[in-house]
Amino acid sequence: MKIIFCVDLDAFFASVEESLNPGLKGKPLIIGSSPLEGRGVVSTCNYEARKYGIKSGMSIVKAYRLCPFAVFLPPRLEIYEVVSERIMSFLRSLTSKFEQLSVDEAFLDVTEKVRDWEEAKEFANEIKEFIFKNYGITSSIGISFNKLLAKLACQKCKPNGIKVVDPPNAKEFLKDLRVEELPGIGKQTTKELKRVGIKKVEDIWKFGLKELQRLFGNFGSELYILSQGEGEDDVYERDELKSLGKEITLSEDTLDRITLFSILQILARDVTEYAKHQNLLFKTITLKIKTKNFKVYTRSKTLKTFSDSSQDIFSTCKKLLEEFLKREIPIRLLGIRVSKFCKNSTLKKFWNKKHF
Positions annotated as catalytic residues are: 105
**Residue closest to 329 by CA, chosen among 214, 191, 188:** 188
Category of 287 on φ-ψ map: left (φ > 0), alpha (ψ -120 to 50) or beta:
beta
> Maximum Cα–Cα distance for the chain, whole Å?
58
Q: What value does the CA radius of gyration of the chain take, rounded to a whole number of Å? A: 21
Report the distance separating Cα 356 and Cα 338, nearest Å: 29
Q: 15-47 burial, b for 16+ CB within 10 Å, e for fewer?
A: bbbbbeeeebeeebbbbbbebeeeebbbbbbbb
According to DSSP, the β-strands at 280-291 and 296-307 are antiparallel
